[in-house]
Every structure is written in C-alpha cells, then in structure tokens.
Amino acid sequence: MLSDCTVELAETWPSLPLSRLVDAVVLSCETGRRKPDPELFHLIAQRLGVTPQECLYIGDGGGRELTGASACGMRAVMLRAGDWWDNDVHSREDDWPGPWISSLTETLDLVADGPAGR
C-alpha cells in the first residue's frame, strides 16, 4: 500500500484488519514525500522485494499516482469504483488514458489476461 496520508493513518494502521493482508506499506507522512515522487514507487517495490517492472499498481489516480507509477516502470491501472465521480481527490488523473477497472475483484482478470482493454 502506497498512500499520501496524515499521521492518523500511520498511527492506526497496525490496528486495522486490512493491515494483516498487506505485505508492504509506504506512507507519505513517514517519508516526507508525496505522489508522484519516484522514490515512493521505488521504495514500495523494494519493500516488496521486487522490481518496479514486476508491480501492478492500482489506484484512483489521485496525486498523479498512475503517471508516477508508469514512469517508474510499473503497470498502472485506474480503479474507478461506483463512487469514483463523487469523490473529490487532489490532482486526480480524470483523463487517464490507460487501463481501468471498476472493482478490485477485476484484479484477477488483469493478472490472468494481461493488460485491461478499457
């Protein structure tokens, strides 16, 4: 998980049920950097023990994260969930030309079939 966040998430992260399912975490409040800083993408890949080229990066496009992930060699996919248009996200890449999914359950299809065609 790579997140632009405040210290509140960093403090509560270990107690959240989702934290047990996540192999690596990079939080902007701990690094002093924000997306799309390339160091963040390289750091999360390093913590996962892989190269950026081996990463599938999924995000809502906030903070120009998809462009940042792509520039570092990651395969970037936008997550446009049902409430995507309702959320006001800082510097979101509304014009993202790359692939997108509407649910994280579609991630398995991305891995099995290659790049999304949307």
Residues 80-118 pLDDT 10s: 886 655 666 667 898 899 999 999 889 888 777 654 444
For position 39, what pLDDT does the model report?
Answer: 98
For position 108, what pLDDT does the model report?
Answer: 83
Q: From CA 103, how far away is CA 30, in angstroms rounded?
A: 29
Rounded to two decimals, what is the model's pTM? Answer: 0.86
CATH architecture of 2-113: 3-Layer(aba) Sandwich (3.40)
Task: Give the residue extent of every domain in the chain.
Answer: 2-113
The two three-digit tokens of residue 37, written as one number: 């800083």
The two three-digit tokens of residue 108, written as one number: 């398995």
The two three-digit tokens of residue 49, written as one number: 């023990």
For position 86, what pLDDT does the model report?
Answer: 64
Q: From CA 71, how far away is CA 67, in angstroms rounded?
A: 6
Q: Which residues have CB under 8 Å from 77's CB, separation 6+?
A: 56, 57, 58, 66, 98, 99, 100, 101, 110, 116
